[in-house]
């Protein structure tokens, strides 16, 4: 489908004017000739749907039901280029997996490769650069997928954990949004699914990726979860794009990872510090603790979205050798649920948590910021939280 022909002459409303909304406006000016373009940032009750042919919605806006006039950057892009797209979603690991796959395909596939989507590059910014042999690695959030009725040629669903319940209300609705990555695939498409992902009805060939024992890949990235992410990268590069096995392995070994994802940020006073600010769920914090040797302190807490922390509290109780320093609203709840655990304490904020960690962590050991909570309400995003962690760490050092 040619989306330019579809848009030309139409009345367009851009609903939401963040990064994607501004990108959509640029695309319409560069590539299309709509009858009119308007921008709106209010609630849905302020939209007169009869005034527009298409309403291009930004992904963070909550809209429970579907309506034929509403679309998105993701849906428009997939209508045009779905045959070029490797779509990657999952509760955790999608940015690292997308970036690693992009890195490997750029080095090994001998074709043009773009990295777009939730990782920060709006897909329509690269619209004119994409040709028939281009590969597009597209990191897809649940919000980008929620109202999309087109699926990519190659779909990847890494894992599913409890997340974004403040937005979706139930795990069923959250999973349903993410399931769109494969639900509209066709018979010659491929769906790579993680072993804990529920079944999705799809016409595509489904390949379930199971965890392997040990560490089969030589990576700069720590953790069994990154070994698992690497399996998706390896199999897509070798089995789908027929890249050389040894070439792919060497390329994966060179991949350095992304900021704020178990990132080693330095040694202060003999203590190794790691920034895992991307961690917003308990499973991610547990993985972080299991990935770094000699961990003595972990910094937890952020926005309380009422997710279930039982698994993390159980981990705290079983790992008395680690001191857990909790802060903010979710940290207060974790501390309360941990009860009489002497290895768990509460402070007001991240600055106090870092100061305590510097006092109690012994030289030769490690400290990890892995909050198991969103940053909102205290920081603009997880990146700002990670940067604050480093700033507090270096103060008076």
pLDDT in tens, 327-369: 999 999 999 999 989 999 999 999 999 999 999 999 999 999 9
- Measured CA to CA, the distance from residue 69 to residue 47 in angstroms comes to 12
Tell me what pLDDT residue 88 has. 98
Question: Mean per-residue pLDDT for 269-298?
Answer: 96
- The confidence band for 1, taking pLDDT boundaries of 50, 70 and 90, is low
Gap between the terminal Cα atoms of the chain: 59
- Measured CA to CA, the distance from residue 83 to residue 314 in angstroms comes to 45
User: Given the structure tokens 């999309």, which residue do they identify?
Assistant: 148
- The confidence band for 78, taking pLDDT boundaries of 50, 70 and 90, is very high
- Measured CA to CA, the distance from residue 16 to residue 301 in angstroms comes to 30
pLDDT of 397 strictly over 70: no
C-alpha R_g of the chain: 22
Percentage of the chain modeled with pLDDT above 70: 99
pTM tops 0.85, yes or no: yes
| Domain 74-254, classified CATH 3.40.50.10540, yes or no | no
Alpha-helix runs per DSSP H in 147-281 = 165-168, 171-183, 224-235, 245-254
Buried b (16+ CB within 10 A) or exposed e, 59-93: bebeeeeeeeebbbbbbbbbbbbbebbbbbbbbbb
pLDDT in tens, 196-244: 999 999 999 999 999 988 889 999 999 999 999 999 999 999 999 999 9
Residue 290, H or E segment: helix 282-291
Query: What is the architecture of the domain spanning 263-394?
Result: Alpha-Beta Complex (3.90)
pLDDT of 77 strictly over 90: yes
């Amino acid at each position: 489908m040619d989306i330019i022909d579809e848009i030309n002459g139409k009345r367009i409303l851009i609903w939401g004017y963040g990064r994607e909304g501004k990108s959509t406006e640029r695309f319409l000016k560069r590539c299309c000739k709509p009858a009119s373009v308007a921008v709106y940032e209010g609630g849905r009750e302020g939209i007169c749907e009869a005034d527009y042919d298409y309403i291009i919605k930004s992904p963070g806006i909550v809209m429970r039901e579907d309506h034929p006039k509403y679309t998105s950057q993701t849906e428009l892009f997939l209508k045009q280029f779905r045959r070029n797209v490797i779509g990657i979603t999952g509760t955790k690991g999608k940015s690292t997996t997308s970036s690693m796959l992009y890195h490997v395909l750029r080095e090994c596939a001998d074709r043009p490769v773009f990295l777009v989507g939730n990782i920060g590059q709006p897909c329509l910014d690269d619209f004119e650069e994409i040709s028939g042999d281009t590969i597009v690695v597209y990191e897809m959030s649940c919000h980008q997928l929620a109202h999309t009725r087109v699926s990519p040629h190659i779909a990847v669903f890494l894992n599913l954990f409890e997340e974004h319940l403040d937005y979706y209300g139930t795990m069923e609705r959250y999973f349903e949004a993410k399931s769109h990555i494969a639900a509209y695939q066709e018979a010659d498409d491929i769906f790579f699914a993680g072993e804990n992902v529920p079944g999705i009805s799809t016409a595509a060939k489904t390949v379930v990726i199971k965890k392997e024992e040990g560490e089969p890949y030589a990576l700069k990235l720590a953790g069994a979860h990154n070994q698992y992410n690497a399996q998706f990268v390896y199999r897509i590069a070798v089995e789908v794009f027929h890249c050389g096995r040894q070439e792919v392995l060497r390329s994966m070994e060179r991949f350095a990872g992304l900021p704020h994802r178990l990132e080693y940020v330095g040694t202060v006073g003999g203590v190794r510090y790691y920034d895992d600010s991307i961690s917003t769920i308990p499973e991610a914090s547990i993985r972080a603790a299991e990935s770094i040797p000699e961990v003595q302190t972990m910094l937890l807490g952020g926005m309380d979205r009422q997710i279930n922390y039982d698994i993390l509290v159980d981990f705290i109780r079983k790992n008395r050798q680690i001191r857990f320093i909790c802060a903010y609203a979710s940290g207060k709840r974790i501390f309360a649920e941990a009860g009489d655990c002497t290895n768990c304490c509460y402070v007001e904020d991240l600055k106090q948590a870092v100061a305590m960690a510097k006092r109690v962590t012994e030289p030769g050991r490690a400290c990890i910021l892995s909050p198991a909570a969103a940053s909102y309400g205290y920081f603009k995003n997880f990146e700002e939280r990670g940067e604050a962690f480093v700033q507090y760490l270096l103060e008076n050092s």
